[in-house]
Amino acid sequence: GVGGHCIAVDPWFIVASNPDQAKLIRTAREVNDYKARYVLKNVLKIASTMQQPTIACLGISFKKDVDDLRESPALMIVNQLAEKTSGKICVVEPHIKKLPTSLSQHKHVSLTNLDDALVSADIVIVLVAHSTFTKEKLMELVTGKLIDAVGLMGKEYDASFAIA
């Protein structure tokens, strides 16, 4: 989904001001808003088959290679996982030095480096395609389930866990 302080919010102002003329904008935003819920639903479904799984969440910014978390669909997903699961959540976000309060208030959520997260996770979710998250690194270190929500692994990747 899209994020940031204007792209995720401003279209809703346009829709509210002229609903009859903004049907395409409404539909586009509904589709984008739904993707985060779809990813969350699938992660929770896989997590429910495990006892307190460790979940690695790769990226929480609103787009690749930035530190801006405003209106980030990835952050919303991780916040919901923190609320709905009790296993360890390893957040990998190379562009921040500390977790936002919404995540740091949960004892089972930590900011982790990429290698440690990939090796220890039962479930790895690619939420943002940061340049430091490479297909080669994931193929080398991931031993658990891999959910590619952004298409980082490419079309040849086994689509059984890809939801991009």
pLDDT tens figures, 58-104: 999 999 999 999 989 999 999 999 999 999 999 999 999 999 999 99
Q: Please report, for the domain that includes residue 53, its CATH number.
A: 3.40.50.720
pLDDT number for residue 44 = 96
Nearest partner of 126 among 110, 105, 109, 142, judged by Cα: 142
The reply to whether 5 falls in a domain is no
| Percent of all residues in the chain with a pLDDT value above 70, rounded to a whole number | 77
> Which residues span the domain enclosing 40?
36-148
Please say if the pLDDT value at position 164 is more than 50. Answer: no
Mean pLDDT, the chain, rounded, equals 86
Concatenate the DSSP letters of all residues of 73-92 into one string.
HHHHHHHHHHHH--S-EEEE
164 in a structural domain:
no
Q: 12 in a domain, yes or no?
A: no
125 located within any domain? yes
Total domain count, the chain: 1
Tell me if 112 is assigned to some domain. Answer: yes
Angle, in degrees to the nearest 10, between helices 73-84 and 23-47: 40
Could you tell me if residue 24 is inside a domain? no
